[in-house]
Amino acid sequence: MHMDELDITQIRLIAELVRLHSVSAASQSIGLSQSAASHALAKLREQLGDPLFTRTTNGFQPTPYGERLGIAAREALDTLQAGLASNRPFDARATTRRFTFYMSDVGQMVFLPPLLAFLKKEAPGATVRSAPIPLENPGAALSSGDVDLAVGYFSNLTTGFVQSLLIHERYVCVVRANHPQFRSGMTLEGFKNTQHAIADATGMAHAIVDRVLVRHGIRRDATLRVPGFHVLPTIVANSDLLAIVPARLAETFAAHVPIKILPMPIAMPDFDIRMFWHERYDCDPTNRWLRGILTRLFQGKDPRVGQKRK
């Protein structure tokens, strides 16, 4: 007999007959009339070439084949029920889930502290991991579920991914609090005459900074180059260097180190920070809950939001 010759009612009937040892009780359990259950059992006996169940002094008992089939039917139904129940609302208070993100160094400093503070209150059993962003095919781990969300600027998560704008970000300049060139604020002359600490562009969003400066005839005097932005505010606080960094990173450090935040001397385009997830997890309750938390924590600070599918 082939699987496609069975229907779900027959599978449920076999499982209940093994459990209850009664046609009338089994039929009532699955919502059939007793005559319909008897007819279904007769059809199964004919299809399978086995009595499946016989009347004994101990009730309606399965044959060896009927018992094996009934156990398999129960396991299959339990697995199906578990699968159907897996889409129930996410229970933050009970979870011990580890949430995994792709985030840049800046993203980790800006997004993780508020997120961890929230989880401590609302999902105390949850943990967080920020995974290294692979140079090639970052979408694979998002597709498999090994990574829940990518947060930042990603130009290579397109087909098969959903994205949502979290914040608009802008660039600012940071110098030490008492820098002699900027006692009265930012000036183009001071910007040109100050040595710079520069984070190497790791993506298209940051590569635009020098392109815009060059269009205005400005080439930065790079005394120091580092791989990422996150070390620049501390270095600037203890030197006469100037650094261009994302505004929220500057604001995060300004509460801890003596730096002054200044506007760019020329207009610089803003850039968007988005969260990305694979479309497989678009309706997943856990992923939806996590996205909702990030939206509540960060998107509300910037009213210009929206969602775009690709």
State the pLDDT confidence band at 227, using cuts at 50, 70 and 90: confident
The 3-state DSSP class for residue 72 equals helix
Q: What distance in Å separates the CA atoms of residue 264 and residue 172, rounded to the nearest whole number?
A: 5
Distance CA 209, CA 19 (A): 71
Do 182 and 308 meet the contact criterion of CB atoms below 8 Å apart? no
Q: Give the mean pLDDT of 127-148.
A: 91
The residue type at 177: A
**CATH topology identical between 98-168+271-309 and 171-262:** yes
Query: Residue 305's pLDDT is what?
Result: 44
CATH, domain range 3-85: 1.10.10.10
Both tokens assigned to 244? 């261009």
**At CB < 8 A and 24+ separation, what contacts does 120-126 make?**
122/92, 122/93, 122/293, 123/92, 123/93, 123/95, 123/97, 124/93, 125/94, 125/95, 125/96, 125/97, 126/92, 126/95, 126/96, 126/97, 126/98, 126/99
**What is the Cα 222 distance to its own chain's centre?**
37
Taking 70 as the threshold, does the pLDDT of residue 291 lie above it? yes
pLDDT cut 90: percent of the chain above it:
64
pLDDT-derived band at 17 (thresholds 50, 70, 90) equals very high
Q: How far apart are CA 119 and CA 26, in angstroms?
A: 46
Specify the amino acid at residue 119. Answer: L
CATH superfamily of 171-262: Periplasmic binding protein-like II (3.40.190.10)
Which residue's entry shows tokens 């016989």?
A: 54
Q: Which of 310, 278, 273, 271 is nearest to 295 (CA)?
A: 273
83 pLDDT exceeds 80?
A: no
Q: What pLDDT does 208 receive?
A: 86
Supply φ then ψ for residue 275, to 5 degrees: -110, 145
Query: Residue 276: beta bridge partners?
Result: 150, 163
Work out the number of other CB atoms within 10 angstroms of the CB of residue 211. Answer: 9
Angstrom distance (rounded) from CA 250 to CA 221: 21
pLDDT value at position 186?
96
**Nearest Cα to 144, choosing from 153, 134, 152?**
134
Binned at pLDDT 50, 70 and 90, residue 308 comes out as: very low
59 has pLDDT over 90 = no
Alpha helix ranges (H) inside 6-163: 8-20, 23-30, 34-48, 64-85, 105-122, 139-144
**Cα-Cα-Cα-Cα dihedral sign, residues 293, 298, 303, 304:** negative
Report the C-alpha gap between 29 and 306 in whole angstroms: 49
Query: What digits encode the pLDDT tens for the residues 176-225?
Result: 999 999 999 999 999 999 999 999 865 556 778 989 999 999 998 899 99
Domain boundaries, the chain: 3-85, 98-168+271-309, 171-262
Q: Which residue has the higher pLDDT, 111 or 200?
A: 111
Confidence of residue 309 (pLDDT cuts 50, 70, 90): very low
**Rounded CA gap, 27 and 287, in Å?**
40
Question: Which CATH fold would you assign to the domain 98-168+271-309?
Answer: D-Maltodextrin-Binding Protein; domain 2 (3.40.190)
Average pLDDT over residues 35-44: 92
- DSSP readout, 189-208? HHHHHS-EEEEPP-SHHHHH
